[in-house]
Structure 1
Amino acid sequence: MMVITIIQARVGSTRLPGKVLKPLGDTDVLSYVVDRCRKIEGVSEVIVATSTLPQDSAIVNWCEQHQVAYFCGSEQNVLSRYVEAAEPYQTDYIMRVTSDCPFVDYELATDMVKAIKENPVEIVDIAKPLPRGLAVEIISYDALKRINNGKTEERHREHVTYYAYEYKNQFTRISYEPSILIQEPQLRITLDTKDDYELCQAVANHFNNQYVSSAEVVRFLKDNTKIAEINAHIEQKPVV
């Protein structure tokens, strides 16, 4: 059974332009995401999927410099970008990661890969809410192609797996129970705004280790409430 990780990335961002290439710790945001994804056990390949827009050539250049596999597809139709990026690999499953999550939980992701290999359904759900920025998604490639070929709304194509959560009864699924150590959904460990970036910088500077476990990051933020409060007021954009 093959599982690949696809990281969606683009330079454009209304609230924090160029966020995925910003400096972080001793490196940059995209390095954090890619390197942490490479620590996920049971994954055959890590691919960055960006758009064909000229401005996203900066991500292509980054990938070439860092010897990271990449694909360029539609900017708005991220669903088709994923389907097309995965096609050459003949994979069974796709792990979806977004590039604005520099502390993505590779230990959680490893356990989810094990779960799907033990019980090969179409979707792995996470049973409990987590801090924004830690979770990954796993969906079968066949299910993703079925969504792509079906009748979908704009939100389904922008958010890739959203259809599978909106129409749950159309997919086989299992629920994965995450560690109690990371069940702190009030925390934001993602990168959408300047305040998010400030928090991520504080975390990166404290640990000076891009492979720090997500559980340690959560504990650090719980113990340092002033840092956790930096971006606590940020509201996530709704899916429309």
Structure 2
Amino acid sequence: MDVIIIIQARMGSSRLPGKVLMPLGNSVVLDYVIARCQQIPKIKEVIIATSTLTQDDPIEEWCQQNGVICFRGSEDDVLSRYYECSKQYQPDYVIRVTADCPFVDYHLAEDIINKMESQPTDIMDLEGELPRGLVVEMVSYNALRYMFQHGKEDRHREHVTYYAKEEKHINEFKRTLYTIPDNMQHPHLRITLDTEEDYELCKSIANHFKGDLLVSSANVVAYLLENPEIAQINAHIEQKPVV
């Protein structure tokens, strides 16, 4: 089973510009995301997918300096960016990761791949709620192509897999269900990077674990549960709604 990971990344952000290349631990945010994705077994390629805008040139430059594959496509039509990138590899499955999640759960990703291998379908659905910033999404290449062909609304193009999540389209795909372990079901925690408060929290985590790029997500969650004053740093931040 051929599986690739595509990490969407851009320098533009209304609340925290340049966030994916901001310093974190002994490196930068993007290095955390890539290093963790590279730990996932059975992955054929890990690819950064950014836009063709000049402002995203530093991402491509960083990739070149660090031996990471970089694909460039549409800024706003992220679904197109994913599909055009994956089309070059013709994989069986694509895992979607966002570059503003420096502590993405690579152990979860391994479990999801193993389950999809034993129960192959179009999409892996997760039962339960993770902290924001840890999740990965796994879809078949055929399902991604179908979403690219049929998802016409702006929300479908911006959020890649949103078409398949809408109730009226659910039955258009075959699905496998993965239940999130109880120790990881803490949706009140926010471990993503979209604001200065998020950045302060991520720096606290990175510093506590001494810049360990591969600290397990379970240990990160445990640290925040044991130190609620750290978790409170960004607890008031509201996620932008899908429109």
TM-score tier (shorter): over 0.9
Cα offset for 1:31?
A: 0.1
Correspondence for 2:145? 145
* Pairing 1:172–2:177 present: no
Could you tell me the percent identity over the aligned residues?
Answer: 57
Instruction: Find the aligned partners of 1:94 and 1:152 in 2 and give their Cα distance.
Output: 21
Q: C-alpha offsets along residues 171-212 of structure 1, whole Å, 9 cap, x if unaligned?
A: 100110122111100000000000000000000000021100
Is 2:53–2:75's contact at 8 Å kept on the other side of the alignment? yes
Provide the rounded CA distance (Å) in 2 between the counterparts of 1:168 and 1:133: 24
* 4+ long deviations beyond 4 Å: none
Residue number in structure 1 paired with 2:163: 163
SS in 2 for 1:152: coil
CA offsets per residue over residues 6-35 of structure 1, 9 Å max, x none? 000000000000000000000000000000
| 2:9 pairs with 1:39 | no
Give structure 1 stretches of 5+ with no counterpart. none
Cα deviations by residue, 1:135-168 (Å, 9 ceiling, x for unpaired): 0000011111111112520000000000011121
Three-state SS of the structure 1 residue aligned to 2:225 is helix
TM-score between the two structures when normalised by the length of structure 2 = 0.98
When residues 169 and 198 of structure 1 are mapped into structure 2, their CA distance, relative to the original with a 3 A threshold, is same
Alpha-carbon separation, structure 2, partners of 1:233 and 1:151:
33
Gaps of 5+ in 2: none
Residue 142 to residue 232, structure 1, CA distance change in 2 (3 Å): same
Q: Are the equivalent residues in 1 in contact too, given 2:225–2:231 (CA < 8 A)? A: yes
Which of 209, 216, 220 does residue 217 from structure 1 map onto? 220
Q: TM-score, normalised by structure 1?
A: 0.99
Aligned amino acid, residue 81 of structure 2: R
User: Which residue does 1:234 correspond to in 2?
Assistant: 237
How many pairs were matched up?
240
